[in-house]
Amino acid sequence: MPAQYARRLLAVERDAQRNAHLGWVLAFVAGATNAGGFLAVQQYTSHMTGMVSAAADGLVLGRPQALATAIGALLSFTAGATCTSLLVNFGRQRQAHSVFALPLLLEAACLIAFGLMGAWLADLHALFIPATVAVLCFTMGLQNALITKVSRAEIRTTHVTGIVTDIGIELGRLLYGLGKPPVQGSAARLRLLGGLLLAFAVGGVVGAWAFKALGYAATLPLAALLAFLGAVPALDDVGRLRSGPTD
């Protein structure tokens, strides 16, 4: 059942399967958001390496708007990651069921705001690109920090460089292990990484197609998915508070 799946996906008690499933879902969302964001502002908002390069280019080439946008993107991504850390620690201190749900709910709210306000902001050319980049980078920072904390830094979902690097490492281990048993690769790890890469790629295709067909409203189904996943454990906490302490 969907509600039970959401509870398992975001449960405080973690295992490899739950981490993998959550990683695949979030990689799909990240891929879709990144592709849609590019069509909106011609920038990939999950790509902080590119933002640092853009800031350097803007500084050297004398493009203050590009420099400011890139710096704003970096600060927004950092702020999103910081916010996730605060929310997770807040939930852990209170032994909440929704420890990992709160950042997802905030991410959903950001996507809803972008989806509803994007068309309006598009008419305000001076604000549109910086505001859009800031919102989407904040969202990606939220998400990447969440899966990092959930998986103890074993999974990333908002950028592919690390995923592809890890796939190469595991392939090297598997190939070397054919002749040297002491060095063994992990087929399970390779399936996880391959799933993350595939989910991001499929999300990118879906996100680009949806944005082309629906415009900014394409983010609303993504927001609905995240809101549903986060709402189930959050409502469990609300019910627990209403029922009061148990003996």
Residue 154 and residue 142: Cα distance in Å, rounded?
16
Residue 49 and residue 159: Cα distance in Å, rounded?
10
Which are the contacts of 78, defined by CB distance < 8 A and separation ≥ 6? Answer: 141
- CA 24-200-220 angle, to 5 degrees, is 85
**Which residue carries 């390496």 as its tokens?**
49
Instruction: Say yes or no to pLDDT of 247 above 60.
Output: no
Burial of 18 (0-12, 13-18, 19+ CB in 10 A): middle
Which are the contacts of 224, defined by CB distance < 8 A and separation ≥ 6? Answer: 108
Distance set, CA 242 to CA 4, 97, 126, 181, 246 (Å): 21, 14, 47, 57, 11
What does the pLDDT read at residue 116? 78
pLDDT in tens, 218-245: 999 999 999 999 999 999 888 877 776 5
What does the pLDDT read at residue 1? 58
Portion of the chain with pLDDT greater than 70, in percent:
90
Buried b (16+ CB within 10 A) or exposed e, 117-138: ebeebbeeeeebbbbbbbbbbb
Residue 103 and residue 87: Cα distance in Å, rounded?
7
Residue 32 and residue 79: Cα distance in Å, rounded?
21
Structure tokens at 57: 């280019």
pLDDT in tens, 26-64: 999 999 999 988 888 788 888 888 889 989 999 999 998
Which are the contacts of 123, defined by CB distance < 8 A and separation ≥ 6? Answer: none
What does the pLDDT read at residue 185? 62
**Averaged over 96-112, what is the pLDDT?**
93
Backbone angles phi, psi at 153, to 5 degrees: 70, 20
